[in-house]
Structure 1
Amino acid sequence: MRLIFVCIKETRELGRQAASGSCPHCQGKVVAVDIESKWKFCCLPISYVDKRKYFCTLCSRRLVFCGFD
């Protein structure tokens, strides 16, 4: 007997807003995007994760903030 487990990751964009600074690659404007990730196991929600990611508006690269808190 074989069991097949199905895990699905759904992502949804919650909002966008302008961020300070410029892209180090092309000097374009930076935008902050709030993203919600939802993991489902056989149509049952397992976890929800909200993240903020930064992207350049000109070259569409994902930018990583390496600051110290």
Structure 2
Amino acid sequence: MRLACVCQDKARELGRQAASGACPHCEGRVEAVDMETKWRFCCLPISYVNKRKYFCTSCSRRLVLYDCY
């Protein structure tokens, strides 16, 4: 008998809020979305990761911030 183990991740949105700035592609509003990701292996939780992602409300593109020193 073989037990099939599957790695999976589940993402859940925690909240949204307006962010400063404008989209460089369409000049639309930018929204910050807080996400929680849970990684599981064989129904056992491995890790929980909270991230903040930025999206344009007009063109729905994901925006990436770069730190310039």
Runs of 4+ in 1 over 3 A off after TM superposition: 1-4
Aligned-CA RMSD value: 1.5
Identity among equivalent positions (%) equals: 71
Aligned pairs, number: 69
Q: Distance in 2 between matches of 1:22 and 1:39?
A: 33
In 1: Cα distance, 2:68 partner to 2:3 partner:
45
The CA deviation at 1:46 is 0.4
TM superposition shift of 1:3? 5.6
State how far apart, in whole Å, the 2-side matches of 1:24 and 1:35 are: 23
Alignment of 1:1-69 (within 5 A): 4-68=4-68
Segments of structure 2 that go 5 or more residues without pairing to the other structure are none
Q: Unpaired runs of 5+ in structure 1?
A: none
